[in-house]
A and B are shown apart, each in its own frame.
Chain A
């Protein structure tokens, strides 16, 4: 199973901001249960989509050398329902970035209309304050994840070297 909740990575400005797109489709199974008579994109999965967009932004800022893990959902508010057939746009910007962690601000829109705001905190877990050790391989930015960046490259963004 590929736990990837963005369809296309659109743009990145290193260490500053990034954007991604997600098309909401009735072909996705979860919408049939959420809800059978009134399918809606679950806000929890929009938070995941933002975490993936912002996570790539934070990872790219340090050349994908760090394992970037979502540490905390600092704030999430949703103002509008999202239905099948709509296209979500995720925009994430770095608020603070240090050796140990990053905080990001995020906006989700459909056709320029605000759907929600999701602010997150990420940990560079090898630099964690508890001194815990993790496996050496980068299990965050796996091949499946990095393939998303290929979609970005194919759309003219050639700055990221894989």
Chain B
């Protein structure tokens, strides 16, 4: 399969989200958050990951999408909020995600808010590049 352009990846991700979440195509913008704007619940993530794995023929391990080992590490978490060291570790583990909003209130229960359509596209892009 020839390498997909970023636009082609975006279009495939968009179609996946339209099918999985029953949203309108024009709602699926780069900046839209999966949970806040598109109404995804945590169980929808399972469905979305399966659909993306099938569409792009890639593997999307859960621990790479959301690094639970960081979020449950007592060295990184105080009172359910990530400390500076935790945020630094998270940035390294989630290069696909834009954490700038999350950093303002790093409540670990709000981690799924960091998933925008754009971050999913970047994750898929990185996985396709790994595959070569």
Say yes or no: A100 contacts B72, CB within 8 Å. no
- Of the candidates B50, B68, B72, the one whose C-beta lies within 8 Å of that of A101 is B50
Contacts of A121 in B (CB 8 A): 43, 46-47, 50
Knowing A121-B50, A131-B71, the reply to whether A99 touches B62 (Cβ < 8 A) is yes
Given the complex of chains A and B, what is the CA–CA distance between A98 and B45 in angstroms? 13
- A100-B71 contact in complex given A127-B62, A129-B62, A129-B65, C-beta closer than 8 Å: no
Question: Smallest Cβ distance from B75 to chain A, in angstroms?
Answer: 17
Chain A residues closer than 8 Å to B45, beta-carbon distance = 129
Please report the C-alpha to C-alpha distance between residue A96 and residue B54 in the assembled complex, in whole angstroms.
Answer: 9
Are B53 and A96 in contact, with the CB atoms below 8 A?
yes
B66 within 8 A of A: yes
Q: Which residue of B lies closest to A70 (CB)?
A: B43
- A74 interface contact, C-beta 8 A: yes
Write out, one digit per residue, whether chain B residues 33-68 have a CB within 8 A of any chain A CB (1) or not (0).
000000000111111011001100000001001101
Most buried by A among B43, B65, B72, B112: B43
The interface residues of chain B lying within 8 Å CB-to-CB of A95 are: 50, 54
Q: CB within 8 Å of A: which of B81-129?
A: 112
- From known contacts A71-B47, A121-B47, infer whether A128 and B53 are also in contact, taking CB-CB under 8 Å: no
What is the distance, in angstroms, from B61's C-beta to the closest C-beta of chain A? Answer: 8
Task: Flag if A100 contacts B47 (CB, 8 Å).
Answer: no
Number of interface residues of B (CB under 8 A): 17
Bound together, the chains give a CA A100 to CA B71 distance in angstroms of: 17
| Residues of chain A with a CB closer than 8 A to B46's CB | 71-72, 100-101, 103, 121, 123, 129
- 1/0 per residue, CB under 8 A from A, across B8-46: the answer is 000000000000000000000000000000000011111
Quick one: given A96-B53, A96-B54, A100-B62, are A131 and B47 in contact (CB under 8 Å)? no
Per-position binary interface string of chain A over residues 47-75, scored 1 when its CB falls under 8 Å from any chain B CB and 0 otherwise: 00000000000000000000000011010
Known contacts A99-B62, A100-B62: A130-B42 contact under CB 8 Å: yes
A-contacting residues of B (Cβ < 8 Å)?
A: 42-47, 49-50, 53-54, 62, 65-66, 68, 71-72, 112
Selected A-B contacts with CB under 8 Å, 27 pairs: A71-B43, A71-B46, A71-B47, A72-B43, A72-B47, A74-B47, A95-B50, A95-B54, A96-B53, A96-B54, A99-B62, A100-B46, A100-B62, A101-B46, A101-B49, A103-B46, A103-B50, A121-B47, A121-B50, A123-B43, A127-B62, A129-B45, A129-B46, A129-B62, A129-B66, A131-B68, A131-B71
Knowing that A95-B50, A101-B49 are A-B contacts, what are 11 other residue pairs whose CB atoms are under 8 Å apart, sorted by A's residue number?
A: A71-B46, A72-B46, A72-B47, A96-B50, A96-B54, A101-B46, A103-B47, A121-B43, A128-B42, A130-B112, A131-B72
